[in-house]
A and B are shown apart, each in its own frame.
Chain A
Amino acid sequence: MGLISNGTTLLDAGAIDSGITQGSMTLINTLTASSSANLTFSSGITSAYKEYVFHLINIHPATDTADLFIKFRDGSTAYDATHNATVWRAYHGENNTSSALEYEASEDVSQGTSGQGIAYNIGNDNDQSTSGYFHLFNPASTVFHKHFLCRMQNSHGSDLALDNYVAGYCNVTAAIDGIQFVMDSGNIDSGTIKMYGVS
């Protein structure tokens, strides 16, 4: 049965008509932290989409000046896929006495397996947190590197506005099929992470 309104077919055989423009970002999963050791997307990353986007919203650490890490799973149960990443950042202090643009050689990774920092020294005052986005390209490929682009803004524990740019690739030909977010110290006190597929 079709549903036609004002001469336009809206629904047919239970599906929205192909002629009607639909959105390209599909919300796959939302994880909300509550004193959580980690937030893990253990399913839903497949060949269904060539790009996945994670929106991180008000991720608040239990421990002051904790770093937020992302880890990649490539077929096993462990979140330890080999990756490379660059890190650069800008910051500005609330007291207006410090600011910088710099490459972070201590935070970049060459062929690492222990995860990648994406937001650093996040404060745990009640109003401090980190938010940003993480793009992962074609994680199901068994041919190419799995590239990612990330930008995170966070309230630094020393009252700085910190702008983190992280990018790189998983240097594996196995598909990436899981993503885990975890603090380097303490729990994720609260926060929301949404995973979208981009068609």
Chain B
Amino acid sequence: MAIISNATTIADAGSFSVGLGDMTLIKTLDVSGGANATLVHGSSSVVFDGTYGVYIIKLINVHPVDDRADFTMNFTTDGTNFNVSKQTTAIEVYNWENDSTPAFAYRDLDLANSTGEQSIAYGCGSDNDECISSIIYVFNPSSTSYTKHFLIDTQFSEGQGINFRQPVQGYCNTTTAITGVRFKFASGNIDSGTFKLYGLKDS
């Protein structure tokens, strides 16, 4: 059965023909006092496989317990061990609320085929109003042919009264499919924060 309105097919054979938007919300995590935030395929209704070619992760108002802790990210191929080898670059750009000298530089927060944590926000403050927001793209994580590219753009309130942006990019240097990601602070818990995972249709 089809639904046709004014010569436009609205639905046909159980699927919509009209556009419903191309960015699909897969999962929202609202973390409160957690040691980490994880998004792993097959766990808690998370999809992170070949269903979508591009995944976008949004971090909104992530607030640390510890002042100026390094906020990091890592990937998994087995859902348990977050230790994928990564090759990355890192940029820092910041200015001070007191208008002291700003900075724009390549930063030694990069990784060279390291399985360790990748810094995505180095030193967020723990004052009540300080937090992290970020946009992360992960491209074709299910590929078993290519390295898995990612783009990270993080904006946060550094703990010394600094407005801080930290762009990071790189790739997981593996041909094994990536099945999940984990976020955590180098010290202390995530006091609060929202993590949203989206898939891009037809990507």
CB-CB under 8 A from B129, the residues of chain A are 143-145, 171, 173
CB-CB under 8 A from B95, the residues of chain A are 84-86, 108-110
Asked if residues B102 and A22 are in contact (CB atoms below 8 Å), the reply is: no
Asked if residues B128 and A167 are in contact (CB atoms below 8 Å), the reply is: no
Q: Nearest CB to that of A105 among chain B residues?
A: B102
Q: Does A141 contact B (CB under 8 A)?
A: yes
CB-CB under 8 A from B2, the residues of chain A are 5
Q: A85-B95, A86-B94 are in contact. Are A199 and B25 (CB under 8 A)?
A: yes
Asked if residues A5 and B97 are in contact (CB atoms below 8 Å), the reply is: no
Asked if residues A25 and B21 are in contact (CB atoms below 8 Å), the reply is: yes
| Residues of chain B from 128 to 156 with CB closer than 8 A to chain A in the complex | 128-133, 135, 153, 155-156
Asked if residues A10 and B14 are in contact (CB atoms below 8 Å), the reply is: yes
Q: Does A97 contact B (CB under 8 A)?
A: no
Residue from the list B11, B19, B25, B135 in contact with A10, Cβ < 8 A: B11
CB-CB under 8 A from B98, the residues of chain A are 110
Q: Does A168 contact B (CB under 8 A)?
A: yes
CB-CB under 8 A from B93, the residues of chain A are 86, 88, 103, 165, 167
Residue from the list A23, A111, A144, A147 in contact with B23, Cβ < 8 A: A23
- Smallest beta-carbon distance A166→chain B, Å: 9
CB-CB under 8 A from B109, the residues of chain A are none
Q: A8-B15, A51-B60 are in contact. Are A20 and B20 (CB under 8 A)?
A: yes
Asked if residues A86 and B163 are in contact (CB atoms below 8 Å), the reply is: yes
Residue from the list A85, A88, A145, A165 in contact with B131, Cβ < 8 A: A145
CA distance A20 to B10 in the complex (A): 14
Q: A24-B198, A51-B58, A168-B163 are in contact. Are A3 and B3 (CB under 8 A)?
A: yes
Say whether chain A's binding surface is mostly helix, strand, loop, or mixed: strand
Interface string of A108-140 (1 = CB under 8 A from B): 111100000000000000000000000101100
Asked if residues B21 and A135 are in contact (CB atoms below 8 Å), the reply is: no
Asked if residues B94 and A169 are in contact (CB atoms below 8 Å), the reply is: no
- Bin the interface of chain B by size: 35 or more
| Residues of chain B from 53 to 101 with CB closer than 8 A to chain A in the complex | 58, 60-61, 63, 93-99
CB-CB under 8 A from A76, the residues of chain B are none
CA distance A149 to B60 in the complex (A): 12
Asked if residues A145 and B130 are in contact (CB atoms below 8 Å), the reply is: yes
Asked if residues A171 and B194 are in contact (CB atoms below 8 Å), the reply is: no
Q: Nearest CB to that of B10 among chain A residues?
A: A10
Asked if residues A23 and B22 are in contact (CB atoms below 8 Å), the reply is: yes
| Residues of chain A from 22 to 43 with CB closer than 8 A to chain B in the complex | 22-26
Asked if residues B11 and A84 are in contact (CB atoms below 8 Å), the reply is: no
CA distance A112 to B129 in the complex (A): 18
Q: A21-B20, A86-B102, A167-B163 known; 14 other A-B pairs, CB under 8 Å?
A: A6-B1, A23-B24, A24-B23, A51-B60, A86-B93, A86-B94, A137-B60, A138-B133, A141-B61, A144-B61, A169-B155, A169-B163, A173-B129, A199-B25
Q: List 18 A-B pairs, Cβ < 8 Å.
A: A3-B11, A5-B15, A23-B22, A24-B23, A88-B104, A103-B102, A110-B95, A137-B61, A137-B133, A138-B61, A144-B130, A145-B131, A147-B131, A165-B165, A167-B163, A171-B97, A173-B129, A198-B23
Partner-B contacts on A (CB < 8 A): 3, 5-8, 10, 16, 20-26, 50-51, 84-86, 88, 102-103, 105, 108-111, 135, 137-138, 141, 143-145, 147-149, 165, 167-169, 171, 173, 198-199
